[in-house]
Amino acid sequence: MAQANLPTSFWGDAILTAAYILNRVPSKSIPTTSYELWHGRKPNLEGLRPWGSAGFVHSTSHKYGKLGPRASKLIFIRYCEHSKGYVMYCEHPDKGMTEIGSRDVDFLEEDFPSISEVKGNLELYLLRDPQGGASITVEGETPNSYPVIDGDNESDPKLSGSCSLEEHNSQNPQMRRSKRGGIPRRLYEIEGESIMCASVDIDEPATYEEVVTSPNANEWITEMKEEMSSMAKNNVWELVDLPAGRKTIGNKWVLKVKRKADGSIDKFKARLVAKGYTQREGIDYEETFSPVVRFASVLLILAIVAHLDLELFQIDVKTAFLNGELDEEIYMDQPEGFQEIGQKRKVCRLKCSIYGLKQSSRQYYYRFHRAITSMGFTMVEEDHCVYVKRSEKNFIILSLYVDDILLAGNNMELIVATQKWLSSTFEMKDMGEADTPIDKSCVLSKELCPKTEEEKKRMTKIPYASAVGSLMYAMMCTRPDLCFAVGMVSRYQSNPGPDHWVAVKRILRYLKGTSDLALCYHGGSLRLVGYSDADGSADRDERKSTSGYAFLLGGAAITWCSKKQPCISLSTMEAEYVACTSAVQKAI
């Protein structure tokens, strides 16, 4: 222990290491070794290392990128008990004492560092052994112990449904090591089916009477009050006596449970909808029109975005139809459950359009058109739902699909200014960047694969391979936009983890939302055009790059591919050349 520069608190580790060695060397009391007597085979002594020596453990963390550190210097304190490998030690400055089990360690057998020399040189809770080594977290003995360090995932605030533990502010806690026989505590992301099962039985009432008797009555009534508040804020109607000879139209509450992509409940939604099917043409409305951008225009905008590397954002107009002003006199019954006290005989004379009216979308579009053109946007004559604004070298394109807006531009400040102006004119909800088949912040690796038999058994119930196979068929036949994403998730079919399944379900949702996309070949030029590209060592398991190419003929793709490169490129330029070589081989 004196040679190892370790404190006496590591006496137990020294004893375990000594026993490990003594069981593998000859003794006078028996003709062979204790290990050979017990296991029936001779021990392999190639893995023995000096106790307390330094070693570098490979980091599979997603955090540091291709230019970040590849390993961390730790201290060897004992051999793994149930598997081949070493238990390495380091004290993290914030997270407390941490032990990492790993099979792949590069030792410095003549270097015996002290604890202070390796303290806090890397966030060790991000280190994992890709071959299944376990991470062991040691807790403090103070009442306010530090949180358990999750060895499976990075601490990411964006993860939905993840468990979290309260952080404590105790200063300089007295630390002790955990019990040897204890199972490391782990935190798992609650995702998908488990949440869906817990919430699938939530009812969606059809009438106000069902709302009152619903187990979730408080949530529904709160949302209904918020809808009524929006009506009052937009001055949608005024209470009047029904003129002689006029009839009212009815209304109803439409109630929905909005869910997130993982199946968990996002919110309860209540919408007051007029019974527009009772309206009479020529009396209650004259014309109908819905602002729907042409699909070809959307594809053209996306092509421009890809070619010029523009920014692309989505915006949702909240209560869009409440922004339309009515030209006709329309009377509606008071909403059920919200009749004014003492004025129950009065009716609502609509001043603005609401959901359900025949002319609602038309009136909303006219107001939107007046507002957006006053800001300097020009309507494209070929598609009245596309607007363009130019400012010197900058430009921005806006497309309108009822209450959903796509903004594309080459200047982020201009996009932000447009968003702020739209939010001040209409009540908007920023939906963020447009959806893609795979989340750009999602980095898949073998680190996310199940490590224990229990985790593997849980994943056998999930049709991962079947789903990937179906996606691969679509990708190979008609959907080149799925090529990279499907290629990414297909690498983990032998041992997929929950995060890999989340990525597959995102692709399936993307495919469902873009089911109308297709390859369209026109009678244009038969000139073959090819494109190739590569990322820079983005694969976290082998540090390899991914090549991609696509060839177009007659206006659409005829062949495409996304494949991990067989070699490790030393630079992004080299990766580009490898990708270009693959594309040229395909062209020839």
Are the C-beta atoms of residues 228 and 335 closer than 8 Å to each other? Answer: yes
Q: Which residues pair with 257 in a beta bridge?
A: 268
CA distance 263 to 508: 14
Name residue 452's amino acid: T
Structure confidence at residue 262 as a pLDDT band (50, 70, 90) = low
Q: Determine which of 368-382, 489-503, 515-529 has the lowest per-residue pLDDT on average.
A: 515-529
Query: Nearest to residue 560, comparing CAs of 502, 476, 460?
Result: 476
Number of CB atoms found within 10 A of residue 376's CB: 13
CA distance 469 to 490: 8
pLDDT at 378: 92
CA distance 368 to 353: 13
Is the model's pLDDT at 22 over the cut of 80?
A: yes
- Output the average pLDDT for the chain: 76
Structure confidence at residue 397 as a pLDDT band (50, 70, 90) = very high
pTM of the predicted model as reported, rounded to 2 decimal places: 0.39
56: enclosing H helix or E strand: strand 54-58
Mean pLDDT of 225-241: 86
DSSP letter at 242? P
Question: 255 in helix, strand or coil?
Answer: strand
Name residue 100's amino acid: I
CA distance 320 to 353: 9
- Burial (CB count within 10 angstroms: exposed 0-12, middle 13-18, buried 19+), residue 368: buried
Is the model's pLDDT at 387 over the cut of 90?
A: yes
Is the model's pLDDT at 80 over the cut of 60?
A: yes
Mean pLDDT of 494-520: 85
Mean pLDDT of 522-531: 77
Pair of tokens at residue 163? 């468990």
Question: 492 in helix, strand or coil?
Answer: helix
For 221, phi then psi, to 5°, come to: -65, -35
Is the model's pLDDT at 166 over the cut of 80?
A: no
Is the model's pLDDT at 430 over the cut of 80?
A: no
Structure confidence at residue 100 as a pLDDT band (50, 70, 90) = confident
More confident residue, 28 or 238: 238
Kindly tell me the sign of the dihedral angle through the C-alpha atoms of 331, 333, 338, 341: positive
Query: Nearest to residue 337, comparing CAs of 212, 504, 462?
Result: 212
Q: Which residues pair with 97 in a beta bridge?
A: 91
The percent helix, strand, coil of the chain (3-state, each to 5) is: 30, 25, 45
Structure confidence at residue 556 as a pLDDT band (50, 70, 90) = confident
Pair of tokens at residue 237? 């109607």
Name residue 556's amino acid: A
Is the model's pLDDT at 488 over the cut of 80?
A: yes
Mean pLDDT of 240-254: 88
Question: 439 in helix, strand or coil?
Answer: coil
Query: Nearest to residue 437, comparing CAs of 513, 365, 377, 379?
Result: 513
pLDDT at 143: 35
Q: What angle do CA 485, 487, 490 make, to 5 degrees?
A: 110
pLDDT at 388: 93
Is the model's pLDDT at 146 over the cut of 80?
A: no
- Burial (CB count within 10 angstroms: exposed 0-12, middle 13-18, buried 19+), residue 392: exposed
Structure confidence at residue 368 as a pLDDT band (50, 70, 90) = confident
DSSP letter at 99? E
Structure confidence at residue 161 as a pLDDT band (50, 70, 90) = very low
CA distance 377 to 388: 5
More confident residue, 361 or 217: 217
pLDDT at 478: 83
pLDDT in tens, 311-327: 888 887 765 566 667 77
Structure confidence at residue 395 as a pLDDT band (50, 70, 90) = very high
Are the C-beta atoms of residues 235 and 353 closer than 8 Å to each other? Answer: no
pLDDT at 549: 92
The domain spans of the chain are: 1-189, 208-433, 454-587
Question: 303 in helix, strand or coil?
Answer: helix
Mean pLDDT of 183-209: 53
pLDDT in tens, 411-423: 888 888 888 888 7
pLDDT in tens, 32-74: 888 888 888 888 888 888 888 888 887 655 555 666 667 778 8
Structure confidence at residue 449 as a pLDDT band (50, 70, 90) = confident
Q: Determine which of 1-5, 133-137, 233-237, 257-261 has the lowest per-residue pLDDT on average.
A: 133-137
pLDDT at 524: 63
Percent of the chain with pLDDT over 70: 76
pLDDT at 362: 81
Q: Determine which of 197-201, 275-279, 331-335, 397-401 has the lowest per-residue pLDDT on average.
A: 197-201
Is the model's pLDDT at 128 over the cut of 60?
A: no
Mean pLDDT of 367-382: 88
Name residue 177's amino acid: R
Query: Nearest to residue 264, comparing CAs of 191, 188, 186, 347?
Result: 191
Mean pLDDT of 475-503: 87
Mean pLDDT of 340-346: 86
